[in-house]
Structure 1
Amino acid sequence: MTKLRNATVSVFCTILLIACGCAAKAQLDYKNALPELLNRYAKSGSDVAGVRLALTISNFYLYNKSYNRYVDSALYYSRAAENVSKMIGYQKGREDAEVLRATALLFQKKYTAVREMAAGASGALYCRLYLLMGKHFLEKDGGVASDLNFADSCLTAAQSYASSHRMPVLFLNSKLYSYHLLVERGTDLRTADQLFTKLVSLCKAQRQPAIEARLWFTRASVVGPAEAETAECFLKGAMLAATAKDTSLAIWARKEIADVNLRRGKFDLAAAQLQQVLQQYTRAGYKNLQFTYNLLSAVLTHQARFEKAMQYGIAAVAHAESTGTDLSLNFMQYSLAQLCASMGQREESMAWYRKCLENSAHEPHYPYGIYRTVSRELIDSGKAALVLKKLEATMRVHPPDASNYLFVLMLKGDCYAALNRPELAERNYMEMIELTKPQGKEDFGSYWIYQSVAAFFVQQKEYKKADYYLSKVLSAPREMISTTALASAYQFKFKTDSAAGNYLEAIKHFQAAKGITDSVFNHLRLKQTEELQIQFKTAEKDKENLVLRNRNTLQRSDLEKELLQKKLIGTGLFASVMITGLMIYLYRAKQRSNNDLQNQQKEINDQNQQLNVLLGEKEWLIKEIHHRVKNNLQIISSLLNTQSAYLHTSEARTAIRDSQNRMQAISIVHHKLYQSNDLSTVNFQAYIEELVHSICDSFHSDKGIQFDFNLVEAHLNTTVTVPIGLMLNEAITNSIKYAFADTELPRIAIAMVETEDDQYELSIRDNGKGLPENFDVDGCSSLGINLMVGLSSQIQGRFSICSDQGTVIRIVFPKLMG
């Protein structure tokens, strides 16, 4: 019965968590996968296609990644797009890059920088930046009055500019957000409806179905998440999006309609609609199907179709990992944990729970529902007091919002019940019920809470109180109660009826619970039996195919023997008629000569074949060595990373990180050699760009450093590439750590050119504060400087460092060394 109750919790929590996780990601890229985008970008050139790829990657990092942890990467690609757009004169690409850069700065809360960008802009970019700021402050958590007032001022500025400069599309967009602002401020519905009607008319008059579609979506958020009118708003928006030929928006709206029906308890309809959404996404070639898979898994869980739900849940996680979209990945892992629990797979369930909590550590909305489930293990092992202490500590780090506070109250109730303090447990459960009353109409979550409270009272043997909440559950509309939850409610009712002496009713409820339980698990066993039968039939067919293949082989062998015999007989007859004594001698001599030549040719061919095999094995072994060296370096780096968690001084952690970066510089060389067809040299330009990206990621820098590359096309061998990579690592690390304390627009330029005396000159220049006045490279005790000097000597090069509007490092080395 515990398994069945967990399935009910799964559906409620999954719906709640998905709503929290996806609401803020309205511009999610459903179409692309990050690995494919990066691969295409690496092969692209400095043209419009390359700019569009860089913009798409920047948008992906902003909206498909969890909670703005990859803003630096988004800034990197937006700057790349902006630089190429300036170079080729692509104005739209330049403006789109500016908007993405402003979005990244808003995520980093650098509001002053964005205001300065907007104030200095003109034309459509001016309106877009003010719209961006207005939208950001309008959608900020909390709905603070000051944020809404600032959003209003930004939207007003955009409307005024768009109106005076005749930009109807941008004007309509700003009015759309103004409608959203009225709703957010709690303006009376009549005023908001009047503006809505006016905007619909304007959209129709100006033939802007895409904007009208978004207006209906905003209207849906006013109505509520589980109302019939909400589905109608999404349906109108979907049709308008289709008219505007916005495939992504149209399919997304259809998915939202299914989500509304899921919340309303219309699970069969929701499942059918989600299947249609999957087909549409697949036909359109979209990669990010995990959100649809996860919703479909929630529907099937409610219907007690656990195997199918598990398949879709695993598919959701697999799609998220393969596309590089980790947004809501933790919620998908939570769903799988609940499904494993429902199917009795306790160890797998707890493993998924822990993965979910690990992925949720950096989220603004900490998943207390999952935290409660994981904490149940400690409570069941008699450590409820410890759970209470940990809960208080966690709440200080992650203050719960309104939706998560319900789980906090429930966990406290669970702890006090285990500590035999029923009065405190009941107080927390009752507070939880009180918090759900302002929502008005009872929904799926309300009945789940009633059932949880009833379970507590049954445990405390307060059967009358339990009976009150069980009556609410059993009188609920059938679509609001899952099959498994209904079985659990009947089981509790059996206990309350037995305690009250209503034995006939108790027997009826017991039989009802057992009937549902048997039906669900008989279905599971039947499914497993069918799968075994399919496997058995497949194995039998494989055996039959093997027998047929053997018979065919024997028949071919017999046929070849017969043909050979016929040829031998014919040759013998021909030879006996044609050959005389002299001719036999000449024929045999010639035959011997031919045989000798054929044997020699065969020996040559065999030797060539052996040489080719040995050469292939040698190349494979070299690649394998590079691969294993890279893996070993990664293992050492991971060990250092683990060790750093036990260090208590910043100097030690910095030393660990510097060592990791040095190993990463060497590891990238072996990675490039492993991927390349040329096992002796490395493409220097690709290596430097990947190394710079790796160093930036290791620092998680929020300085917004821009890297400029001017690198001659060169392929260097490993004896040069590894030392140069280490020197670049030291130079860039020093710049990031020490150069830009007071620099507004930090920049690092990396260049390598050929000199007239047949040498390479590599320079690393930053625009930071430069070297100290009395700096002496010979008397310097810095490990990084000494390492660069030593490595320069290793490649027979010359090392120099000076200040020139920042720090400039030059290494000149012979071209023959490369």
Structure 2
Amino acid sequence: MESCTFRCSRISPTMSSKPTMGTNFHKTVILFAFSIANSGLLFSQDLGLYADQSYKKVFVDTDNFGASYLDVLESLYPSVRPDSVKFSMLNDLAYYWHTRNLGKALDFTRRGLQLARAANNVLWEGRLQITEAAILLRMEQLDLAEEVLNNAMDKVLEKDLAHLYTQLGYVYERRGKLGKAADYAMQSLKLGKELGDIRAVAMAYSDLGNLFWKQKKYDAGLEYGLKSLALFEERGINDLDYDFTLFVVGNNYLSLGKHEEALKYLQHTIAIGERYGFYNNLSDGYMVLLEVYAHLNEFEKAEEAGTNALKYAELLDNNFLMMRSWLALGKIENLQGHHGTAIDFLEKSIAIATDDFGDAFFLSQAYEALGKAYAGNHQYKEAYTAFARYDRLKETVFTAEADNRISLLRTEFEVADKEGKIRSQEALISKQQTTQQLIMVITGLLLLLLLLAYISIRNKFKVNKILEKQNQEKEFLLKEIHHRVKNNLEIVSSLLSLQAVGMEDENMLSKMRESQHRVQSMGMIHQKLYTGANLAAVEMKSYFTTLGEYIIDAFGATDRIQFEVPMPPLEVDVDMAIPIGLIVNELLTNSLKYAFVGNQKGKISVSLRKVDQKFQLRVRDNGVGKNTHAKGESSGFGTQLIALLTKQLDGTMELNTHGGTAISIQFQPGKAA
């Protein structure tokens, strides 16, 4: 149930507060420098800049940036003015790189220190020293890190001290002095609350959650971890500290036996770590993920997680992480009964933890696991020696003094918190008493307003009922009009049919039938209107299907002509539907008359689609093609009618005779006259 929990160190990207008017001026200067150096490049890269392209502090103003943004910071900081912005940029670069390359991070920090000392800027010298100490801490130089932090204490502002105390707490935690580490976490918490610094408070809660975990107070560790997460999420920036706090919560859930909950938080911390390359957090996260998978009996996944933990520890070249990675791998080998392999891994872990390693907490775990491995391998003498070493180390970490100090600090904090809540409640009660009379007056006014509103709503309801009834009557009348127009058009169609009965001239008879089809196509429009839900528009897919079946049946070609309408349902205004229907009627008639010689079988398709804000009507057949059509077809009334209707729609027509005949007409919506 025990695993890695020490974040080594976390560097604050800046120690600045909310931007002042001077800061905004500085940002304008940076923007001008960026514009000259990069011309239009900044606009084409994802640099995480504001809309006004001002400099954004990494993980303070933004967490949305890529490597190109860091490249720009590195290339432009030498020419940036004023110096305070230059120092901030160097601090940003150190903050990012200390999670991936400690040497590079230290180089950026020392460049900043050299410039700050040359400019006699004591404030930024102190801030950069805090950054330097955090990197030294991760490089296992604990004494030097503490010396640098103490040197910086008198140089920085009060608002910077919370972060400085946090780093001192890490030094003592790393040495196994948990009570002293808790003292510094509480100082950081108190100062953060006094200054209203949400990030400082969140970091203090996170550190306390980690320290409670080391003291095996998992419920308290989870409580403070979740409080920290809530504040980080309120801040809305996914930085290194938020990422580590997800790990703290996952670690406490694991120790409480809630493996599924632990898995959720650990996968989140790994996702953020992969996004930004937080090698330290990735190594930590994979170590605990190994234990979760082991408890879930998913040993292949556990071994893969252990390998990843070691990989990121080696990439960062951090002995503390490498020691714990081998420890985690040794534990899982013990769980699987591979005691010989476990001994090899655990001896590697202890070999990395030299005499000045400092962290008795994890070293004690290594000896405990080694003792179990020796015992499982029947090497009882070696097991006894390892367990004896474990007992001595454990006594230095889990002292009664440290336990009492942490418990006392927690009690002091909770009492102070409750006193603060009591004062807040008293102030709230005073305000409530002051406003009671006002509330009573407002309540009376509200009741009066409610009464007036009720009367108004009731009158409006009556008016709406009348309007609804009138709308229903108008809708009924409109449907009835469409029904009667359809009936009248059917009468006209019937008259044309009767007129054609006595005709012997085939040419005249054909023209009468075509006129009848045109009238019928318009009648179908009105039929669709009075039978449909929308009285102002026609659903064209259904209309084309009905029209096509009617015309094919009128030509007696049902058995040999296959008709298709390959289009989705589409509603069109009635003013456009009528000319479209007439065009399709003419094109279908032409296809049936000229495209299929004799009793040739074939296929006709009609579609209407909206493409790029335009309608596209397409009628295609696979008949003999345009060249074989009857002579004089192109100058007939039908062709003239199609051209006239296309012009009415303000459209353009294209003809394609390859593999049949395809006619495409494009027109704008709402163009029918």
- Normalising by structure 1, report the TM-score: 0.42
Higher relative contact order (CA 8 A, sep 6+): 1
Report the structure number with the largest CA radius of gyration.
Answer: 2
Query: What is the TM-score with the length of structure 2 in the denominator?
Result: 0.50
